[in-house]
Chains A and B, each alone.
Chain A
């Protein structure tokens, strides 16, 4: 089974600065997908960015980018020019490509425990 680890329970950053949230995962698969979801105080779950493991190029979405290191099984999220609206819980998630090797729950997402991001004005 896959596991996702977010080692930073909480991070704080000044408005307009850059912050990086870390995520590592454990898998024996070679193909998979990785996601970052944002959960603001409203408790919605909003997709921020996703990365296909077979792609070497790091995904970017406006101020959000990832640093995907496949060999190290690391998938960090960088938020540039932080804004007050970025304050939220951020969850890293993994999804298998080939459910044959992944056992039960292969088609659901496996989430980390989350990082609470605080934006200081």
Chain B
């Protein structure tokens, strides 16, 4: 596609429910990143993939958070047993090459606004 897309754009859920957030990267982009952005803050790194392999998940807050990218394209971030503190904008980004720590530009999607009641 023309850019990184994310769905849904808005998600309202009740505390204790599971949610799945989807990211579709730019076609041909190898690396995919997940970030969380609280209101009034900069994005916070969660995890990333090169192809289908999860390279680093040290930013995931706890074991309720998981991510997968089974075919090296679309990725899903899953939050189990959601809590109110999980409310935030969840952003996905992709970049062209799997260069660890390189300058390759990350292109961001529009984000999913998650609200946990």
**A residues at B contact (CB < 8 Å):** 4, 33, 37, 42-47, 50, 52, 91, 93, 95-99, 102-114
Contacts and interface: CB of A to CB of B under 8 A. Distances in A.
**Binding site secondary structure of chain A:** loop
Interface residues of B, number: 29
B102 A105 contact: no
Interface in B59-97: 59, 89, 91, 93
20 contacts: A4-B42, A33-B102, A45-B91, A45-B93, A45-B108, A46-B108, A50-B105, A96-B101, A97-B102, A98-B101, A103-B58, A105-B58, A107-B55, A108-B48, A108-B59, A109-B45, A110-B45, A111-B44, A113-B41, A113-B42
Contacts, number: 76
Contacts of B35: 108-109
A114 B59 contact: no
A71 B12 CA distance: 46
A99 B58 CA distance: 13
A45 B43 contact: yes
Given A43-B111, A108-B47, A108-B48, 11 more contacts: A4-B42, A45-B108, A91-B42, A91-B43, A98-B101, A104-B58, A108-B33, A108-B45, A109-B45, A111-B44, A114-B42
